[in-house]
Structure 1
């Protein structure tokens, strides 16, 4: 009857039996030989191994230890002692075979050889059992590990190389490789025990998969810490590289489990959880939880094969593109709900504020940071996705807002501020990826600015109609217009400074331009005292306009001479000085045209020759301006170019 431990590895039994009968075939083929102490045809009983399976009744021999059989020693895990007995029996059996003792009894040799092989297999099976129990709940059996290491090394010393005659008894058992295989199987079983047997479905999202990976990480960390602190020192004393073996075994098992999870991973959350765990949890230097524990002194193979990693990143970015587009849809819906509720924008740090900029910054920063934690390549791809999505979002947002009922100064100012924050913030943080968005952001800001200006222009346009009328000569008709400008400028104080100043200067230019357009386009002319009064009135209006905009902070000082020059030409009593005023006007505003000069001269009743002389001189000045590069060369300011002058009878008379 064989010991129970022998039956643990039937594969080893079959392998040993195969070697045994192959060796026996060679022995029988060699033919009979004389056996000392035996005659031809005499049977030689094989009783030498009876004690292997049961204790003998006589005194202890070299095959026994305190009366214990090899099977008992294996059961008690005295592996080295059991191996020494088997080694002694093997040596004696090989010697008897060499002396042709078994020529007449090959069956006896087979029985004894089989018994030795079975007990070798039992030792190998016990190695499996010790490895399987090492990381179990009962703790580490240091004595068993020491016996395991000792018996493996003893077997390697006893069987360093295969014998030249192919004798299976002296063939190396490769127990070190057997031990490494057992460690790998143990690691695979341990890793598979973490989390559910199947990968979570897509409907469960990333939380279920994250739980599986958390359990997996905890188990691997706990087991490797146990190996490093308890198992490795015992093996190291016997010269066994247990740490590297266990580490690579667990690494391979984790890689296999992760490949299975990756195959079934679906959805943006699951894909990211998988990539993040592989890159930042398992790949972290402090994964084992102690600085003195290192993952490996040599590089380990990739946890995920490069093609699998590339596939996961590709699928993740595809899902991410849809998710980010959906996030921008949500941002637009939130803004539309605020517009529908007629909510006034908040004022933060003296500026109109909408959550738009904050939401976009958070959206981009969150996804870019998450992607950057996995790889630089994924970070760059995520930036491109965010930039494309924002580029598609801007025109939709602008169109939706301008078509809503919330178009007013506070909301327009808030949107201008939001676009400016996005432009400066995103370009400063991600200069390469969002550079192409600078133009769309500036274009959207300009559209909001133009809508803001059109609102003011619609309010003040009717107030210009009373200029250069009889009532204008005696009343302060400009004050209501300037009151609206001051109220409008109050909103600009809550707009980002570059756009607020630019808008204020544009309002300043608009007021001066419209004032001149009404002066030059009027059909009736003042004569005598009214002309002088009108000139004085224009001077007063010019001063009021200049003082108001200066008080508001406008930096468009170049507009200050336009109205006074026309007023001086209108009220100049010494006609020879009109040319001087005209020269000042043309040099200050090189965008003025001949039509404008004719309209200005038509305000006065000058003689034909004087008009011709002034027109000729003005044309020479205008040609000099064109030769010097035109209006754009003189600071790029535009004023008269946008003033349309109607052709009146007075202008025609002036031309003639």
Structure 2
């Protein structure tokens, strides 16, 4: 009799379990939950009476756990799909919210499931949002160059539409304590961050990296998505910031800057290739800009860097600074690379005039390029400084080449001056003058900042010209000293005019020829010595002994 009664109760309980499970499957949630609560209450009463050692009680606890697990799974499934099928789930969600609230109250009572039902609901909301994002169309980048831009556009649209639905319909199925809209907003912040991490692994091109950064930093929180008018005023008190993995944004910016460097490198490679194929190989004369010899590549580079600076600034100031520094880091090696290729392709042109034109052209172009980059010294001081050193190294080589060529060219004519024929023959001076005049014409094609070039050559010519007076013991007798003084003055005036045209700032050298002419024109030693003292004071490089001997 006892066994029959036990079997009957077991069959009855099994039937109850199956009935409750069927109700859950058919989404008759309110009735299923009421039956579960009754079963749970029965379990609690028996537990109080029998203790916890009863085998039958253990089976009943297992049944409760399985049924509650099925109920939670069903609720989670409904919540996940609730915004996809709002009309079907509207009434069900009312029961869902009641069940969750009831179970939260009974959380400490025996027979229930471990873990918070509210937390499970939030996780279900997040899973639903994740599924929504995963369903947004994502083309293969091999099939569509605009794959990312299209996807991000669709992603933003899906987010807004989903939150609009939550705001207008879904949230009214829950009591205010659920903070439904806020929960969905927070879930989107988290899920979008996770989604973008997956998408980022496919992003390699510069334009796509820029689009992704712009979407994350600007567009997501703008009126196009989280700041949309259709979500107001509910978004007023909500955060609009994505929940990104730590250092994700930093890694993305670094990846972008690496692509910036690669893009600048490609631009610089193309510039060198163009100069070789279009200019050097064809032996084409350089173009002029405002009467100065010029190759426009400095404008191409500046435009490229300025474009990166301007576009990166639209994302944020930090990215602008990092992008510009990346450009300058890549630019640092450009002067050296350019010099190596120029030497390799054009050294055979020495000492033709075209070689000189090329030297002046690149002096001008790199001067302009450095001036452009100086505008970024405040934001990237180290990079500008290093680039400047490389440019100055190239300048020293180019300017030094011009100086060496000129010095070598005029050396034989300077050596033959102040010889016995000097007073009657002007050929050597005329050669010196013509070559200096040609150099002056070249200087006219050089941009103004390179007055140092003119200064150094001015000093060299004066030093060498006067040096001949110091070195050669030239005798001026029988009034030849007056003729010599007049000749020096005339030659000196012509040289002064040339170096004035070259914009030399060494105007203090202009008077040395006149003062020497005055000394040479004197008839006696006493007058000569009277003129020597101020000359030596003004020009300490001239020695009293040397001048006095050379003028006797």
Aligned pair partner of 1:227 in 162, 176, 188: 162
Q: 2:390 aligned with 1:440, yes or no?
A: yes
Q: 2:350 aligned with 1:415, yes or no?
A: no
CA distance in 2, matches of 1:42, 1:534: 144
Secondary structure at the counterpart of residue 288 of structure 2: strand
Aligned ranges for residues 55-204 of structure 1 at < 5 Å? 83=30, 125=74, 128-129=77-78, 131-132=80-81, 134-135=83-84, 140-141=86-87, 144-145=89-90, 147-156=91-100, 158-162=102-106, 166=110, 176-195=118-137
Report the CA distance shift for 1:148/1:462 in structure 2 as closer, same or farther (over 3 A). farther
Partner of 2:331: 390
1:589 deviates by 0.4
Aligned pair partner of 1:258 in 173, 179, 196: 196
Partner of 2:276: 336
| Count of matched residue positions in the alignment of Structure 1 and Structure 2 | 519
Report the CA distance shift for 1:552/1:268 in structure 2 as closer, same or farther (over 3 A). same
Secondary structure at the counterpart of residue 244 of structure 2: coil
1:416 deviates by 1.5
Partner of 2:441: 490
Secondary structure at the counterpart of residue 489 of structure 1: helix
1:233 deviates by 3.0
CA distance in 1, matches of 2:323, 2:40: 71
Aligned pair partner of 1:430 in 360, 366, 377: 377
CA distance in 2, matches of 1:227, 1:266: 26
Secondary structure at the counterpart of residue 413 of structure 1: helix
CA distance in 2, matches of 1:467, 1:604: 15
Judge conservation of contact 1:124–1:175 (CA < 8 Å) in 2.
no
1:544 deviates by 2.7
Report the CA distance shift for 1:369/1:304 in structure 2 as closer, same or farther (over 3 A). farther
CA distance in 2, matches of 1:276, 1:580: 80
> Once the two structures are superposed, what CA deviation does each residue of 1:24-50 show, in whole Å capped at 9, x if it has no partner?
xxxxxxx99xxxxxxx99979979x99
1:160 deviates by 4.7
CA distance in 2, matches of 1:373, 1:498: 34
Q: Which structure has the bigger radius of gyration?
A: 1
Partner of 1:520: 470
Partner of 1:218: 153
Judge conservation of contact 1:187–1:253 (CA < 8 Å) in 2.
yes
1:579 deviates by 1.0
Report the TM-score when normalising by structure 2: 0.75
CA distance in 2, matches of 1:362, 1:339: 24
Report the CA distance shift for 1:90/1:378 in structure 2 as closer, same or farther (over 3 A). closer
Aligned pair partner of 2:514 in 557, 561, 564: 564
Q: 2:495 aligned with 1:545, yes or no?
A: yes
CA distance in 2, matches of 1:42, 1:451: 111
Q: 2:185 aligned with 1:244, yes or no?
A: no
Report the CA distance shift for 1:522/1:162 in structure 2 as closer, same or farther (over 3 A). same
Judge conservation of contact 1:128–1:179 (CA < 8 Å) in 2.
no
Judge conservation of contact 1:371–1:382 (CA < 8 Å) in 2.
yes
Report the CA distance shift for 1:364/1:553 in structure 2 as closer, same or farther (over 3 A). closer
Judge conservation of contact 1:369–1:379 (CA < 8 Å) in 2.
yes
Partner of 1:7: none
Aligned pair partner of 2:244 in 303, 314, 328: 303
Report the TM-score when normalising by structure 1: 0.64
CA distance in 1, matches of 2:67, 2:7: 28
Partner of 1:644: none
CA distance in 2, matches of 1:558, 1:401: 37
Secondary structure at the counterpart of residue 293 of structure 2: strand
1:222 deviates by 2.0
> Once the two structures are superposed, what CA deviation does each residue of 1:73-104 show, in whole Å capped at 9, x if it has no partner?
997x8x7xx62x5566667778999999xx9x
Secondary structure at the counterpart of residue 528 of structure 1: coil
Judge conservation of contact 1:412–1:452 (CA < 8 Å) in 2.
yes
The two structures, once aligned, show a CA RMSD in angstroms of 4.9
CA distance in 2, matches of 1:448, 1:164: 86
Aligned pair partner of 1:586 in 512, 516, 536: 536
Report the CA distance shift for 1:402/1:590 in structure 2 as closer, same or farther (over 3 A). farther
1:464 deviates by 4.0
Judge conservation of contact 1:74–1:123 (CA < 8 Å) in 2.
no
Report the CA distance shift for 1:120/1:572 in structure 2 as closer, same or farther (over 3 A). closer
CA distance in 2, matches of 1:505, 1:98: 105
Aligned ranges for residues 368-387 of structure 1 at < 5 Å? 385-387=326-328
> Once the two structures are superposed, what CA deviation does each residue of 1:516-555 show, in whole Å capped at 9, x if it has no partner?
2333334653321333211221122222322443355443
Aligned ranges for residues 636-655 of structure 1 at < 5 Å? none
Judge conservation of contact 1:268–1:320 (CA < 8 Å) in 2.
no
Secondary structure at the counterpart of residue 602 of structure 1: helix
Report the CA distance shift for 1:46/1:288 in structure 2 as closer, same or farther (over 3 A). same
Stretches of structure 2 that go unaligned for 5 or more consecutive residues are 50-55
CA distance in 1, matches of 2:517, 2:63: 128
Secondary structure at the counterpart of residue 169 of structure 2: helix
> Once the two structures are superposed, what CA deviation does each residue of 1:191-212 show, in whole Å capped at 9, x if it has no partner?
2233559x86xxx69x76x624
Stretches of structure 1 that go unaligned for 5 or more consecutive residues are 1-30, 33-39, 54-69, 606-656
CA distance in 2, matches of 1:246, 1:524: 102
Report the CA distance shift for 1:367/1:504 in structure 2 as closer, same or farther (over 3 A). same
Aligned ranges for residues 601-616 of structure 1 at < 5 Å? 601-605=548-552
